[in-house]
């Protein structure tokens, strides 16, 4: 008895190859998208620092760098970024955890130069303790909008804090982060704000500081872990 041989035509082989290629490509795209979508910075808890008027106090120490550097961002070393201090070390994250109904004391070491605000109104300090921030030890209610380098704004909490830039002529400017506040040119900005009920609150920079991107609001301005993030009030 003669056995039938299963013969696949040339068209069939081509079709199978195309289907396999499409499936493989789809899987690769799916893996890429899922890894991108789930790649968020780790949450950094604020450091408890006693209490103020009966409310617990937490400290956050941040720095802003014109270029985050290859150590903290090998893929985007030139991107402007915030860093946060954790256990004495600077790490790149913009997701912070603080207690509900507490006072948060924020110190920002600002190493970037000025860019200027697109909307000068955002140069006013709002929603902070006493309605002020201190810039290099001096309390101010607003800054010159042209001197703004970045802002720290939590819209849902009504917190608006403009951060003035380092002067162009300043010596020993930091090229890449993490920058050293002990030796490099910077401005020191301090402020406090009160948290309310539990929740996740977004924060962002309003200065168009993303060099070379559309309206200065691309790249690091639209990626968690650089110029915007969350404050998890727990």
Partner 1 sequence: MSSSGTPAGGDAVPGPSGEPNHLRRFLAIWIGCSVIATPLVAILLGPLLPPGNGSDAASGQVTDNTVLLSMATPVLLLVVVYLVYALLAFRQPRGAALEGPAVRGHQSLQTLWIVVSGVLVLTLAAYGTVRLETGYGAGSGNGPKPLTAPKGEKLPVQVIAQQWAFTYRYPTYGGVETTHLELPVGKTVELHVTSLDVIHSFWAYQLGVKADANPGVDNVAFVKPTKIETFEVHCAELCGIWHGGMFDHGHVVSDTDFESWIAEQQARFAATTKALPKYSTTYTPEPLERGE
Residues forming contacts to partner 1 in the complex (CB under 8 A) are 115-116, 118-124, 126, 141-142, 144-145, 153, 155-156, 158, 160, 202, 204, 206, 208-217, 221-224, 228
> What span, in angstroms and rounded, lies between the C-alpha atoms of 192 and 154?
12
Q: How far is the CB of 153 from partner 1 (least distance, A)?
A: 8
Q: With beta carbons less than 8 A apart as the criterion, state whether 128 and 190 touch.
A: no
Q: How far is the CB of 16 from partner 1 (least distance, A)?
A: 40
Q: How far is the CB of 33 from partner 1 (least distance, A)?
A: 16
* Of residues 108 and 209, the one with the C-beta less far from partner 1: 209
> What span, in angstroms and rounded, lies between the C-alpha atoms of 234 and 231?
9
Q: How far is the CB of 38 from partner 1 (least distance, A)?
A: 16
* Of residues 98 and 143, the one with the C-beta less far from partner 1: 143
* Of residues 86 and 116, the one with the C-beta less far from partner 1: 116
* Of residues 56 and 162, the one with the C-beta less far from partner 1: 162
> What span, in angstroms and rounded, lies between the C-alpha atoms of 203 and 230?
6
Q: With beta carbons less than 8 A apart as the criterion, state whether 112 and 165 touch.
A: yes
> What span, in angstroms and rounded, lies between the C-alpha atoms of 103 and 94?
19
> What span, in angstroms and rounded, lies between the C-alpha atoms of 188 and 181?
9
Q: How far is the CB of 68 from partner 1 (least distance, A)?
A: 15
* Of residues 111 and 206, the one with the C-beta less far from partner 1: 206
Is the omega angle on the peptide bond into residue 178 within 30 degrees of 0, that is, cis? yes
């Amino acid at each position: 008895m003669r056995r039938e041989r299963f013969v696949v035509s040339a068209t069939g082989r081509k079709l199978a190859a195309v289907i396999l290629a499409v499936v493989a490509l789809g899987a690769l795209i799916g893996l890429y998208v899922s890894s991108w979508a789930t790649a968020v910075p780790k949450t950094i808890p604020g450091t408890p620092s006693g209490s103020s008027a009966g409310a617990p106090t937490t400290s956050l120490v941040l720095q802003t760098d014109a270029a985050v550097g290859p150590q903290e961002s090998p893929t985007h070393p030139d991107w402007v970024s915030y860093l946060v201090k954790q256990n004495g070390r600077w790490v790149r994250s913009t997701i912070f955890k603080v207690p509900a109904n507490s006072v948060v004391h924020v110190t920002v070491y600002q190493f970037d130069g000025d860019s200027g605000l697109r909307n000068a109104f955002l140069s006013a300090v709002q929603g902070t303790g006493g309605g002020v921030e201190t810039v290099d030890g001096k309390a101010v209610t607003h800054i010159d909008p042209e001197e703004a380098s970045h802002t720290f704004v939590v819209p849902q909490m009504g917190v608006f804090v403009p951060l003035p830039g380092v002067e162009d002529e300043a010596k020993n400017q930091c090229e890449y982060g993490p920058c050293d506040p002990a030796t490099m040119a910077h401005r020191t900005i301090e402020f406090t704000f009160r948290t309310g009920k539990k929740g996740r609150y977004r924060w962002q920079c309003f200065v168009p500081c993303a060099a070379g991107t559309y309206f200065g609001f691309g790249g690091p301005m639209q990626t968690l872990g650089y110029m915007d993030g969350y404050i998890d009030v727990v």
